[in-house]
Structure 1
Amino acid sequence: MPPTDASAGTSTGSVPVHTGCPDPQAVAGAGHTAAFGDGEDTLDLRLPDEFVTRFAGGTADVETGGREAGQEHAGVAATRYGRREVCRTEVEEDLLDHITTWGTTTSRVGPFRLVPVRVEHDLQLVHGWMNDPAVTAFWQLGGHLNRTESHLRAQLDGDGRSVPCLGLLDGTPMSYWEIYRADLDPLARHYPARPHDTGIHLLVGSASDRGRGLGSALLRAVADLVLDCRPACARVVAEPDLRNTPSVSAFLSAGFRYAAELDLPGKRAALMIRDRVLRGLM
Structure 2
Amino acid sequence: MTRAEDARTTGGAGRRSAPATAVEDTLDLRLTEELLALFAADAPSAAGPAASALLDAPGSWRPATTSAGIFQLVPVRLERDLAVVTRWMNDPAVAAFWELAGPEEVTARHLAGQLEGDGRSVPCLGVLDGKAMSYWEIYRADLDPLARHYPARPHDTGVHLLIGGVTDRGRRVGTTLLRAVADLVFDHRPSCARVVAEPDLRNTPSVSAFLSAGFRFSAELDLPEKKAALMVRDRAHRDHL
User: Normalization by structure 2: what TM-score?
Assistant: 0.88
**Offset at residue 145 of structure 1 (A):** 1.0
Q: Deviations over 1:111-131 (max 9, x none)?
A: 100000000000000000000
Q: What is the deviation of 1:90?
A: 4.1
Give per-residue Cα distances to partners, 1:81-103, cap 9 Å, x unaligned. xxxxxxxx943852100112102
Q: Which ranges of 4 or more aligned residues in structure 1 deviate by more than 4 Å? A: 10-13, 43-50, 52-55
Deviation, structure 1 residue 26: 9.2
1:151 corresponds to which of 101, 110, 124: 110
Check the 8 A contact 1:45/1:184 in 2, yes or no. Answer: no
State the SS of the aligned residue for 2:162: strand
Equivalenced residues, count: 232
TM superposition score normalised by structure 1: 0.76
Say if 2:39 and 2:54, in contact at 8 Å, map to a contact too.
no
8 Å contact from structure 1 (residues 21, 139) kept in 2? yes
Are 2:29 and 1:42 equivalent residues in the alignment? yes
Task: Note if contact 1:227-1:276 (Cα within 8 Å) is conserved in structure 2.
Answer: yes
C-alpha distance after superposition, 1:44-100 (max 9, x if no partner): 899769716849xxxxxxxxxxxxxxxxxxxxxxxxxxxxxxxxx943852100112
Paired-residue identity, %: 58
Q: Which residue, 117, 130, 155 being the options, matches 2:89?
A: 130
Tell me which structure has the larger Cα radius of gyration: 1
Task: Tell me which of 198, 201, 217 is aligned to 2:160.
Answer: 201
The answer to whether the 8 Å contact 1:16/1:211 transfers is: no
Which residues in structure 2 correspond to 1:84-95 (within 5 Å)?
Answer: 90-91=48-49, 93-95=52-54
The 5 A counterparts of 1:106-255 are: 106-255=65-214
Q: Distance in 1 between matches of 2:101 and 2:133?
A: 18
As a proportion of its length, which structure holds more helix?
Answer: 2
Label 1:54 to 1:225 Cα distance change in 2 as closer, same or farther (>3 A).
closer
Flag structure 2 segments of 5+ consecutive residues without an equivalent: none
Does structure 1 conserve the Cα–Cα contact (< 8 Å) formed by 2:3 and 2:169?
no
Query: Is 2:11 the partner of 1:24?
Result: no
- SS of 2:239's partner is coil
